[in-house]
Structure 1
Amino acid sequence: MNYQELKLLEDDLWEAADQLRANSKLTASEYSMPVLGLIFLRHATTRFNDLLPEVEKAVPARATGALREDRLKLGFQGKAAIYLPETARYDYLAALPAGTNVGEAIRDAMIAIEASVTDQQGNKLLEGALPKDYLGLEQDLLAELIKIFNRPALQTAKGDVFGRIYEYFLNQFAQSGAQEGGEFFTPPSLVRMIVNVIEPDHGTVLDPACGSAGMFVQTGHFIEEVRHKHTVDTDITFYGQEKADLNSKLARMNLAVHGLEGQIRIGNTFYEDHHQLLGQCDFVMANPPFNVDGVQVAKIKSQVGDHQTGRLPFGLPGIATKTKGKNKGDGETISNANSLWIQYFYSYLNDTGRAGFVMASSASDAGNKDKDIRQKLVESGHVDVMMSIGPKFFYTRSLPCTLWFFDKGKPEDLLDTVLMIDARNVYTVASARSHVFSEEQLANLTAITWLYRGEHDRFTALLASYHSKAGQYLATMPERLAADGLQIKALTHALRDFAKATEDDAAVAAVREKLGEEHGITDEALTHFRSELAKLEQQAASWDATLAQSLNDAKPLQDAIAALPDNASFAQRKALQDKLDEANPGLKTALAALEARHKGWLKLLELAEKSLRARQWAAFDGDATRDAKKALLPRDAKKREKPTVRDLGVEAFKRASYFVAQGHWLLHRFSDGLYADVPGLCKAVTRQEIADNDYSLTPGRYVGASVGGVGDDNGEAFVTRMREIHGELADLNAKAMELAAAIQTRFVELFE
């Protein structure tokens, strides 16, 4: 299941579930946990079923009934799935006969799971975490929900499909206003960026504001996808603390649904430190609440400096001059808790530990006591990377933010510098109110940190991956263009035959008689169609020649990509990229020709069908044109249609060109495969430079403005899109004029 298919599936599931919510008496907050509980159960069953055959091999054939279940439960210990009692498996619930109390069955299933899921010490990992309030819900609603999450595509889904659907639903409930405005949910783009930079793959991992445990889940993905290991085989332990009881339950469910184990405790991190991991963590990750005020000074003074707890090694931030409202009478309070969080994350690290966290942009420049704290952090030499993120990455608020990274194990040669990255102009528009990082944007930003750390081989490997993907799409072009050409040929023949029929007086007369006095088939219209066909055939020759040339040019490129071994040197990769860059304008020209060819022939078909009523003519091949039209139009994704011939042909050119452009993005900025400051993007700043700027840690203050260079695709992409918009507008204006003329004609006829 690819990304687009998964996205469609997620949207379908959400739309169905949301429709059910709309038709029930439930609010979003009431509905969210029961739905997430069913998703959890479906995914847990899928993982259980995947591992069941392996576990059953170790169960003696003579073991039956309760003995067999005990052996199965034992066999699931240490596996990347949880044991499920028979009556708690989704298959059992989906097969319940009509009239069964579905709510009671689901509740009992949740109770049974909580009782059976334990760690090696016998502690119940999900005790009190699963939703059980199903008895008061409409039985028909619950039965329908079970069907929704039991669709064939989900029964056979492999990998982490359900985990992603689970995260998607967390996101959707955040957007719909459930779960305290979505404050528990950290956008996956930011979580992945944090994980990519600090690379948590072992030891003790802490998130003292863990929300729904997204940081831990992404760590699991990183270990499996980048380190190519299973988390159950990795020496890693997750510790989380969360203030809200509901969010802590979500965290425990989220860990379980991904086959991860962790210790999640409920507590206010400002005042409580349940895990007692000061100076012991290999990795700390978090997205704490921004700009919290009202933290009581009296309760945190003992954390300062060399005091017993020592979680605030650089002192207290500013203290509010006056307490108001709900804090009145609580004594002195901290005016802004951002610097508390920053110190917590630093103090939990061991001597080689790394931290990555999300923070309000204002914290990078805050003055007074906050500035003093930043100064001490900078002087420690452990501030590693600062990355500015633009607005719209959060689902419930559009403010920008900054990602902070600490590294207490920085090599000596980097102790005096901080890498500043301004990524505010790097994003992909997911919707009008939401931005994300694409896979390639995440990889390219991460590659900057690799170069900064001297990891040049990883940069070369990323470049190689783009070359490989470009080559894969280049290889598909001959077959896809051939299929496209067959459809164009069929449509061309049909329209040519039709044009000949428009010159046959008998055929014209027959159609006019068939349609009656208001046939609209004028001699001028017939002549105009033939004229448009002649013009199109002249243009088509040029388009066909461009596409044929593109195939000739693509073959040596594909061969050059295939000829390089996986371990090719940077110099070889750079030489190949030069060839690809030289060829990329040709790919874009060919793509424009392909789309123009589709548009031209479909527009002529529309002229024949609407102006000349082509389907009323005996000489018109309606079946052939219908099939060709369907093949040459984009698929309707909402109808779950498969990609059309047109989609596949366009994709080959677009994606090949896209991956060439990704390689260009890297080498246009880092031409020698070594780190270099790039205006508007990144700069390695010394501690003295930071001191000269009042200890500001805002990247935009250092990197300067970007300088557009020759070959940079940003300007070209803008011009191309503006041309597309202009062309679309011209077509709409032309159609509007035709419609206005038709209305005017009808109006005149009406009153004659």
Structure 2
Amino acid sequence: MENVAQIEKKLWEAADYLRANSKLTSTEYYMPVLGLIFLRHAYNRFLKAEDEIKQHLPSRGGVTRAITKDDFVSKGALFLREHAKFDYLLNLSADNDKGQAISKAMEAIEEDYEALKGVLPKEYHIFDNDLLTNLLKVFNNKALQTANGDVFGRIYEYFLMNFAIEGAQDKGEFFTPVSLVETIVNIIEPDHGMVLDPACGSGGMFVQTSHFLEESGRKAYQAVTFYGQEKTETTIRLAKMNLAVHGLEGNIVEGNTFYDDKHELFSKCDFVMANPPFNVDKVDSEKIKGDVRLPFGLPGVNKEKQVSNGNYLWISFFYSYLNDKGRAGFVMSSQASSAGNQDKEVRRKLIETGHVDVMVAIGSNFFYTRTVPCELWFFDKAKPEERKDKVLMLDARGIYRKVTRTINDFSPEQLKNLTAITWLYRGHTTGYLALIKQYYASISKEAALLPGRMDEFSAMLAKYAEKLDEFLHWVLTSNLDAALQQSYQEAVGEAQAAVERYRQDWATLEEKLAIWLKNYAVLPETNQEHQAASDAFAPLAAELKALRKELDAAVKALLRVSDVVEKELDAKKQPTWDGREMNRLGKELDALRQVANEQLKLPRYFYKQIHWLQSRFPDAVLVDVPGLVKLADRSEIEQKDWSLTPGRYVGVAPQEMDEDFDFEQAMRDIHVELAGWNEEAVKLGKEIQANFEELGI
């Protein structure tokens, strides 16, 4: 997944370039292109499943049983007929009608899978052969030929996002950022029964549920049943394609959830997840005033007998779909948690049920098409009696990773750490301790890899220094100006000191790491053992950080010697100096420096995750942490006018001197910002130039 952002961008630019040079609009273009991504992913899953199936096929009398469609179902993959395989379409000769061939491939898949009837795009006749040939080549990118489902899921969403921005869909409401979906799934843990998303968009909640189940060794089709409702037929097609490409099925129907309950699942669902459209107005109150899904009554209704904001309709619906042990998690506008008037009355009644479980505040820029912050709401109708009058308030607005100038998400570790807080809230200490143990396993794994990486770097460092030494004889025996001689000798002296300092400190640190690894060859289990392991690793973490600087300094000092040799001593004219060779070695040295530097970061990175948790929850139990988390009781919530806004409860974290300020991360964030502005400037410049050309200027 490390290079997936570059792959996404490259694929999008190539595909968008082809569209821009055709006569197709984004609306005509987006579904067929998503269909090709579907075919590419389906073919990857087919090949992987086919290989696994062949290894375990039974044979009788020396004859192996033929592969069937059912074999692929058990592997969570689609069976593909020969003419529906991506490679077959890619290798068709130029005189074949590619549009017709791709449409027939889609028809073949629909014939084999009832759930996909009428879902897959078949509008390829509007494309000319060259455009389709080039698109097939785009999605035959080498990086995609063995890509897994996570990569394709990202690419699928990236294309959805870009098509949304291009205007192919209304405000990009058909999918939810993965970070938010993962947070919802991790907190409600949908591991059985009926799972409903009444505003299902492209089906991201269902896909992430399947990933959640896979991590525990379970299959989604065995554990849960997916139900979805969506108001537009086109978005339903997107959802069914998304499910199918992940080997999933769901009962997804068309309907406006404000007025229709197509599945009639009132009080039947084990889990409800959703990202509904926020702040919808003009909902006809007359059509819904007797709806059984509104157990707390109508929210605010205006003079025209319209619900002026639909947020609390959604909130009530989600609650009402749950059975008496059900859980719900959903995205909601940050305005809703403190809304007044009749909305507050609905919220009060909801809080008084004791079923509001967790509230999580999310910062800005998590959505592709809107920058506003939001909140995640969680209900649990099976809350134990001791937590009935309490709500976990979690303010995660300051926790994020910058992806682009306008997009943030959670890193995998940030997501795990937030989930761990909810485990402590529910008394699942074992999960919390298991996560810390997992981080220790990562420290051990990455620390064990360090000697190999460092040896490769050290060998190249020595080789580069030797090449400089070969030139030293010429310098010392030449008739160079005394000032130049001194300049060179100073640079050499600095380099020798920097290299020696790095070598000595790495040797010392390597020995200490080896001792730590030996002492914790058996990973710690209890919280007390975890604390001891952390205390033992803390000075090593500081030394890892210091060594990275020394490593960089050693390379920089050696490269400076080369710079002095070439620029001040004019060594390029000397037969004993091979500038090209030194340049090549310099690039190799810098590449190995980066590898070693990255490896030095990793043990410390996982230690920082442990420290983040232990410094806040030292006894492995939930405590209030200013600026982050507070367990609020109902009396306090009532005093705050029934508000469910986490920031009103957790307060502000005390100002501290950050001794561990991550300068490199700050610089990376600045670089991301700058790159985003530059990219937009280039795009805007092209648009301006095109406008001038149209005007004949």
Both proteins in one fold, TM over 0.5: yes
3-state SS, counterpart of residue 449 of structure 2: helix
Verify the 8 A CA contact 1:174 1:185 in the aligned structure 2: no
Q: In the alignment, is residue 103 of structure 1 matched against residue 99 of structure 2?
A: yes
Question: Which of 254, 260, 264 lines up with 1:266 in the alignment?
Answer: 254
Show the counterpart of 1:403: 376
RMSD: 2.5
Q: Give unpaired runs (5+ residues) of structure 1.
A: 118-123, 304-309, 322-330, 509-521, 634-643, 727-752
Show the counterpart of 1:133: 123
Show the counterpart of 2:146: 156
**1:629-668 correspondence runs (5 A):** 629-633=586-590, 644-668=591-615
Cα 1:116/1:438, change in 2 over 3 Å = same
3-state SS, counterpart of residue 604 of structure 2: helix
Q: Deviations along 1:61-90, whole A, 9 cap, x unmatched?
A: 9999xx97xx73354455412222322121
Question: Which of 528, 532, 555 lines up with 1:575 in the alignment?
Answer: 532
After superposing the two structures, state which structure 1 stretch, 486-495 or 96-105, moved more.
486-495
Question: Which of 229, 236, 239 lines up with 1:251 in the alignment?
Answer: 239
Q: Deviations along 1:586-612, whole A, 9 cap, x unmatched?
A: 111111111222222223323333444
Note the C-alpha offset of 1:405: 0.3
Q: In the alignment, is residue 24 of structure 1 matched against residue 6 of structure 2?
A: no
Q: In the alignment, is residue 531 of structure 1 matched against residue 490 of structure 2?
A: yes
Note the C-alpha offset of 1:5: 3.6
Verify the 8 A CA contact 1:85 1:116 in the aligned structure 2: no
Tell me, in whole angstroms, the C-alpha distance in 2 between the residues paired with 1:188 and 1:720: 26
3-state SS, counterpart of residue 24 of structure 2: coil
Q: Deviations along 1:302-360, whole A, 9 cap, x unmatched?
A: 21xxxxxx100001111123xxxxxxxxx421110100000000000000100000000
Q: Deviations along 1:388-431, whole A, 9 cap, x unmatched?
A: 00001011111000000000011111111000000000001111
Tell me, in whole angstroms, the C-alpha distance in 1 between the residues paired with 2:112 and 2:8: 30
Q: Percent identity?
A: 47
Cα 1:243/1:36, change in 2 over 3 Å = same
Show the counterpart of 1:685: 632
After superposing the two structures, state which structure 1 stretch, 91-100 or 539-548, moved more.
539-548
Question: Which of 591, 597, 600 lines up with 2:554 in the alignment?
Answer: 597
Cα 1:538/1:151, change in 2 over 3 Å = closer
Note the C-alpha offset of 1:213: 0.4
After superposing the two structures, state which structure 1 stretch, 242-251 or 88-97, moved more.
88-97
Cα 1:360/1:649, change in 2 over 3 Å = same
Q: In the alignment, is residue 235 of structure 1 matched against residue 217 of structure 2?
A: no
Question: Which of 618, 622, 630 lines up with 2:575 in the alignment?
Answer: 618
Verify the 8 A CA contact 2:509 2:540 in the aligned structure 1: no
Note the C-alpha offset of 1:489: 1.3
Cα 1:715/1:25, change in 2 over 3 Å = farther
Show the counterpart of 2:404: 431
Question: Which of 346, 363, 367 lines up with 2:340 in the alignment?
Answer: 367
Cα 1:258/1:660, change in 2 over 3 Å = same
Q: Deviations along 1:173-201, whole A, 9 cap, x unmatched?
A: 33444322322121100000000100111
Show the counterpart of 2:283: 295
After superposing the two structures, state which structure 1 stretch, 20-29 or 133-142, moved more.
20-29
Note the C-alpha offset of 1:92: 1.6
Show the counterpart of 1:318: 300
Tell me, in whole angstroms, the C-alpha distance in 2 between the residues paired with 1:61 and 1:176: 59
The one-letter code matched in structure 1 to 2:488 is: F
Cα 1:561/1:23, change in 2 over 3 Å = farther
Question: Which of 352, 358, 362 lines up with 1:385 in the alignment?
Answer: 358
Show the counterpart of 1:215: 205
3-state SS, counterpart of residue 226 of structure 2: strand
Cα 1:724/1:133, change in 2 over 3 Å = closer
Tell me, in whole angstroms, the C-alpha distance in 2 between the residues paired with 1:725 and 1:99: 50
Tell me, in whole angstroms, the C-alpha distance in 2 between the residues paired with 1:416 and 1:365: 18
After superposing the two structures, state which structure 1 stretch, 180-189 or 528-537, moved more.
528-537
After superposing the two structures, state which structure 1 stretch, 388-397 or 613-622, moved more.
613-622
The one-letter code matched in structure 1 to 2:347 is: R
Tell me, in whole angstroms, the C-alpha distance in 1 between the residues paired with 2:668 and 2:470: 32
Tell me, in whole angstroms, the C-alpha distance in 1 between the residues paired with 2:418 and 2:668: 29
Tell me, in whole angstroms, the C-alpha distance in 2 between the residues paired with 1:296 and 1:280: 26
Question: Which of 316, 322, 336 lines up with 1:349 in the alignment?
Answer: 322
Note the C-alpha offset of 1:614: 3.2
Verify the 8 A CA contact 2:494 2:557 in the aligned structure 1: no
3-state SS, counterpart of residue 208 of structure 2: helix
**1:436-475 correspondence runs (5 A):** 436-475=409-448
Q: Deviations along 1:505-525, whole A, 9 cap, x unmatched?
A: 37x7xxxxxxxxxxxxx7644
**1:500-539 correspondence runs (5 A):** 500-505=473-478, 524-525=483-484, 527-539=486-498
Q: Give me the TM-score of the superposition, normalised by structure 1.
A: 0.84
Show the counterpart of 2:519: 560
Cα 1:610/1:23, change in 2 over 3 Å = farther
Verify the 8 A CA contact 2:498 2:553 in the aligned structure 1: no
Cα 1:725/1:229, change in 2 over 3 Å = closer
Cα 1:616/1:99, change in 2 over 3 Å = farther
Cα 1:312/1:725, change in 2 over 3 Å = closer
Tell me, in whole angstroms, the C-alpha distance in 1 between the residues paired with 2:669 and 2:376: 36
Question: Which of 524, 547, 556 lines up with 2:506 in the alignment?
Answer: 547
Note the C-alpha offset of 1:617: 2.1
Note the C-alpha offset of 1:152: 4.0
Note the C-alpha offset of 1:298: 1.1
3-state SS, counterpart of residue 403 of structure 2: strand
3-state SS, counterpart of residue 146 of structure 1: helix
Cα 1:62/1:724, change in 2 over 3 Å = closer
Q: Give me the TM-score of the superposition, normalised by structure 2.
A: 0.91
Show the counterpart of 1:87: 83
Q: Deviations along 1:616-667, whole A, 9 cap, x unmatched?
A: 321124455234312232xxxxxxxxxx322221112111111111100010
Show the counterpart of 1:282: 270
3-state SS, counterpart of residue 326 of structure 2: strand
Verify the 8 A CA contact 2:400 2:414 in the aligned structure 1: yes
Note the C-alpha offset of 1:10: 3.1
3-state SS, counterpart of residue 126 of structure 2: coil
3-state SS, counterpart of residue 290 of structure 2: helix
3-state SS, counterpart of residue 261 of structure 2: coil
Cα 1:172/1:61, change in 2 over 3 Å = farther
3-state SS, counterpart of residue 179 of structure 1: coil
Cα 1:611/1:302, change in 2 over 3 Å = farther
Tell me, in whole angstroms, the C-alpha distance in 1 between the residues paired with 2:668 and 2:389: 49
Which structure has the bigger radius of gyration?
A: 1
Show the counterpart of 1:716: 660
Q: How many residues align structurally?
A: 668
Cα 1:58/1:153, change in 2 over 3 Å = farther
Question: Which of 662, 675, 696 lines up with 2:622 in the alignment?
Answer: 675
Q: Give unpaired runs (5+ residues) of structure 2.
A: 671-697
